[in-house]
C-alpha cells in the first residue's frame, strides 16, 4: 500500500500533498475546538496510548496520510492542553491565532534564515519584528538583536557578547584565544537567579558556581546594598520578573550603584520585560533600559509558538564580534545577516510568527493581553485569600504563590489538582515553604477559566482537609 503514494507522478504528488495539508489543518482545527473542554493533563490511558507510536524504525514506507492519522490518534490525546486557557504551570503562554496561522504558512515556505540571500521575506520580517520589539520594550535604538530558540540561548548569546566586550577591553580576544589564560571576569548574580543563567554561564566557560551571590528581599529582589565592591571586569545579572513571585529587581538603583566602565549589566527579562507594553505596568521596568543586554522570550507572555527567544545587546559591535564568522561560500551582504548576530546558522524563520503576532495585536492588544492576565492573577489571589488560604507573594504581575496550609497539604492539593484535570498548576519552594505556582500567561484565559479553576482548588483543598483524604504520608521534600 505504501509504495503507491511515492510512485505518484509529480502532478499527482501535488494533489496528494494538498489533501494532506488540508487534512492536517482540519485535524488541528478539531483539536483546538476540543481543547478548551477536555481535561488539561492527559489521562493515564491517553499516555499509555503513546505505545502506538513507539515500536521500531520501520523498514518500509508508510503513507503520509497514515502517518498523520497515527499522530492525531495517539499523539493528540496525550498532549497537555496548553492551548486551552487553563494551563497555569511554569510560565507557558498559548499561541495567538495570527501567530499560529503564520507558523503554518512559514512551514510551507520552508525558509532558511541564516542569510538574507536565502530568504528576503524571512529576514525582512525578522528585522521588522526585532525593531518593533526593541521599541515596545523601550530598549536603546542602536542595540543589536537576534532570534534564538528560547531565553536560555538568548542569555547565552548576551553573555557571550559581555565576555567579548569585557575581555577585549583587557586586550584579550576571547573568540580566538578562548578562556585559558584570560584575565578573570567576575560574575555576580542574585540568590534568586534563574537556572537558565547558570546554564549559560557554564556553557560559556564562566562557571555555574564561580559566581558571587547577592542576597534578596522578601519578594526575591536583589538587595542593592549587598552588591560587593566591583573592582575589575564584571558581569552582573539581574531580573525583570522572578520566575516564582514575578518581582522586579531595582534596576535603576543597581545600574547607578556599579562602576559601569567595567560592569556589564545583563537582564533576564524572559517574561517580565513584556510588562513594558502596558501603560499600567511599565513603571515596573524603571531603569531596566540602562542595562547592557536583555534576554526575553516570545513563546511565554507574548504568546508566540515555541522556539522563540529574543535578545538585544546595547553594544551591537560586541554582539557581532562574538557571533560573526566568515567562509568563502557564505555570501554575506552589507545588511544585517541573521547568522552574524546569533549562535545558529541554519534555522527556522522565527520572525514570521513574531511579526504576525505583533501585527495582529498592535500596541493596544498587547497591552490588553498583559493587563488581562495580570488582572486574572489578582483574581486568583483575592479569591484564594478570601477562602482562607495564604498568598505568599505580592502579586505584582501574573504570578501567584499560594499555600493551602502545611507543606504536605499544599503538595497533596497540587497533586490532586493535576489529577483532577480542570486546570494544571505546578509547585515550588518559596522561602522554605511549599507553594502552588499559578502563572497566567495565555491570551485564551478568561474569568470563567479562573472561576472554574478556583472552584476546583477550593473543593480539593477542603476535601483534603475535612476528610483527611490525603492522609497517606507524602513527604514534604521539594
Cβ closer to ligand PLP: 248 or 404? 248
- Cell numbers given for 213: 551571590
Q: Which stretch binds ligand PLP (CB under 6 A): 52-60, 148-156, 166-174, 344-352?
A: 148-156
Residue 244 C-beta: closest distance to ligand PLP, Å: 9
Q: How many Cβ atoms from other residues are within 10 Å of residue 225's Cβ?
A: 8
Cβ closer to ligand PLP: 297 or 371? 297
The dihedral region occupied by 197, where left means phi > 0, alpha psi between -120 and 50, and beta the remainder, is alpha
- Cell numbers given for 160: 557571550
Of the candidates 242, 184, 182, 231, which has an alpha carbon nearest to the alpha carbon of residue 210? 184
Q: Which stretch binds ligand PLP (CB under 6 A): 77-85, 150-158, 376-384, 447-455?
A: 150-158
Cβ closer to ligand PLP: 430 or 470? 430
241 contacts ligand PLP (rule: CB under 6 A): yes
Q: Which stretch binds ligand PLP (CB under 6 A): 69-77, 97-105, 263-271, 455-463?
A: 263-271
The residues, any chain, with a CB within 8 Å of residue 308's CB and separated by 6 or more, are 147, 149, 150, 297, 298, 299, 302, 350, 353, 354
Burial of 350 (0-12, 13-18, 19+ CB in 10 A): buried
- The tally of CA atoms less than 13 A away on the side-chain side of residue 228 is 15
160 contacts ligand PLP (rule: CB under 6 A): no
Q: Which stretch binds ligand PLP (CB under 6 A): 149-157, 337-345, 360-368, 421-429?
A: 149-157
The span from the CA of 439 to the CA of 93, in Å, is: 9
Residue 220 C-beta: closest distance to ligand PLP, Å: 11
292 contacts ligand PLP (rule: CB under 6 A): no
305 contacts ligand PLP (rule: CB under 6 A): no
Residue 194 C-beta: closest distance to ligand PLP, Å: 4
111 contacts ligand PLP (rule: CB under 6 A): no
Residue 153 C-beta: closest distance to ligand PLP, Å: 7
Residue 72 C-beta: closest distance to ligand PLP, Å: 27
298 contacts ligand PLP (rule: CB under 6 A): no
249 contacts ligand PLP (rule: CB under 6 A): no
83 contacts ligand PLP (rule: CB under 6 A): no
Residue 295 C-beta: closest distance to ligand PLP, Å: 7
Among 162, 174, 188, 196, binds ligand PLP (CB under 6 A): 196
Of the candidates 114, 429, 136, which has an alpha carbon nearest to the alpha carbon of residue 296? 136
194 contacts ligand PLP (rule: CB under 6 A): yes
- Cell numbers given for 269: 527579562
- Residues 80, 40 contacting (CB under 8 angstroms): yes
**Bridge partners, 187 (sequence order):** 235
Among 297, 353, 420, 449, binds ligand PLP (CB under 6 A): 297
- Residues 258, 225 contacting (CB under 8 angstroms): no
User: Nearest residue by C-beta to ligand PLP?
Assistant: 150
Q: Which stretch binds ligand PLP (CB under 6 A): 80-88, 265-273, 401-409, 443-451?
A: 265-273
Q: How many residues bind ligand PLP (CB under 6 A)?
A: 13
Among 113, 123, 146, 152, binds ligand PLP (CB under 6 A): 152
309 contacts ligand PLP (rule: CB under 6 A): yes
Q: Which stretch binds ligand PLP (CB under 6 A): 36-44, 225-233, 266-274, 351-359?
A: 266-274
The span from the CA of 87 to the CA of 189, in Å, is: 30
The span from the CA of 49 to the CA of 47, in Å, is: 5
337 contacts ligand PLP (rule: CB under 6 A): no
Cβ closer to ligand PLP: 151 or 211? 151
Among 41, 91, 361, 436, binds ligand PLP (CB under 6 A): 91
Cβ closer to ligand PLP: 172 or 424? 424
Residue 91 C-beta: closest distance to ligand PLP, Å: 5
Residues forming the site for ligand PLP (CB under 6 A): 91, 150-152, 194, 196, 241, 243, 268, 270-271, 297, 309
Amino acid at each position: 500500500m505504501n509504495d503507491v503514494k511515492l510512485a505518484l507522478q509529480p502532478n499527482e504528488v501535488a494533489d496528494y500533498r494538498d489533501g494532506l495539508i488540508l487534512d492536517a489543518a482540519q485535524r488541528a482545527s478539531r483539536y483546538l475546538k476540543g481543547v478548551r473542554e477536555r481535561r488539561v493533563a492527559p489521562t493515564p490511558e491517553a499516555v499509555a496510548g503513546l505505545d502506538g507510536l513507539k515500536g521500531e524504525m520501520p523498514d518500509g514506507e508508510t503513507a503520509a496520510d497514515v502517518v498523520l492519522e497515527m499522530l492525531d490518534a495517539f499523539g493528540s490525546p496525550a498532549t497537555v492542553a496548553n492551548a486551552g486557557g487553563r494551563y497555569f504551570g511554569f510560565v507557558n503562554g498559548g499561541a495567538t491565532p495570527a501567530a499560529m496561522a503564520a507558523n503554518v504558512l512559514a512551514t510551507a515556505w520552508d525558509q532558511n534564515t541564516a542569510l538574507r540571500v536565502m530568504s528576503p521575506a524571512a529576514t525582512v520580517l525578522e528585522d521588522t519584528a526585532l525593531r518593533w520589539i526593541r521599541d515596545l520594550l523601550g530598549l536603546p535604538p542602536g542595540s543589536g538583536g537576534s532570534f534564538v530558540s528560547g531565553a536560555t540561548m538568548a542569555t547565552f548569546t548576551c553573555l557571550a557578547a559581555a565576555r567579548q566586550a569585557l575581555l577585549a577591553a583587557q586586550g584579550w580576544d576571547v573568540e580566538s584565544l578562548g578562556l585559558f589564560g584570560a584575565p578573570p571576569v567576575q560574575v555576580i548574580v542574585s540568590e534568586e537567579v534563574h537556572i537558565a543563567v547558570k546554564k549559560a554561564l557554564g556553557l560559556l566557560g564562566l562557571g555555574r558556581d564561580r559566581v558571587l551571590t547577592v542576597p534578596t528581599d522578601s519578594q526575591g529582589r536583589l538587595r542593592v546594598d549587598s552588591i560587593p565592591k566591583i573592582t575589575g571586569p564584571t558581569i552582573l545579572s539581574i531580573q525583570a520578573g522572578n520566575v516564582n513571585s514575578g518581582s522586579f529587581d531595582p534596576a535603576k538603583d543597581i545600574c547607578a550603584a556599579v562602576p559601569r566602565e567595567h560592569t556589564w549589566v545583563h537582564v533576564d527579562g524572559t517574561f517580565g520585560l513584556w510588562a513594558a507594553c502596558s501603560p499600567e505596568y511599565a513603571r515596573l521596568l524603571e531603569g531596566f533600559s540602562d542595562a547592557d543586554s536583555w534576554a526575553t522570550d516570545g513563546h511565554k507572555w507574548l504568546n508566540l509558538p515555541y522556539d522563540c527567544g529574543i535578545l538585544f545587546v546595547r553594544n551591537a559591535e560586541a554582539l557581532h564580534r562574538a557571533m560573526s564568522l566568515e567562509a568563502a561560500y557564505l555570501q554575506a551582504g552589507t545588511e544585517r545577516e541573521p547568522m552574524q548576530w546569533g549562535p545558529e546558522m541554519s534555522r527556522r524563520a522565527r520572525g514570521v510568527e513574531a511579526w504576525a503576532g505583533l501585527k495582529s495585536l498592535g500596541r493596544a492588544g498587547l497591552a490588553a493581553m498583559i493587563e488581562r492576565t495580570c488582572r486574572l492573577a489578582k483574581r486568583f489571589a483575592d479569591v484564594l485569600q478570601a477562602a482562607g488560604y495564604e498568598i505568599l507573594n505580592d502579586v505584582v504581575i501574573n504570578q501567584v504563590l499560594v499555600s493551602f496550609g502545611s507543606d504536605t497539604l499544599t503538595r497533596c492539593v497540587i497533586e490532586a489538582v493535576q489529577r483532577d484535570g480542570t486546570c494544571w498548576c505546578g509547585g515550588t519552594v518559596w522561602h522554605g515553604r511549599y507553594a502552588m505556582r499559578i502563572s497566567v500567561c495565555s491570551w485564551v484565559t478568561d474569568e470563567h477559566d479562573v472561576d472554574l479553576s478556583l472552584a476546583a482548588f477550593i473543593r480539593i483543598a477542603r476535601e483534603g482537609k475535612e476528610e483527611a483524604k490525603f492522609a497517606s504520608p507524602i513527604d514534604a521534600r521539594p
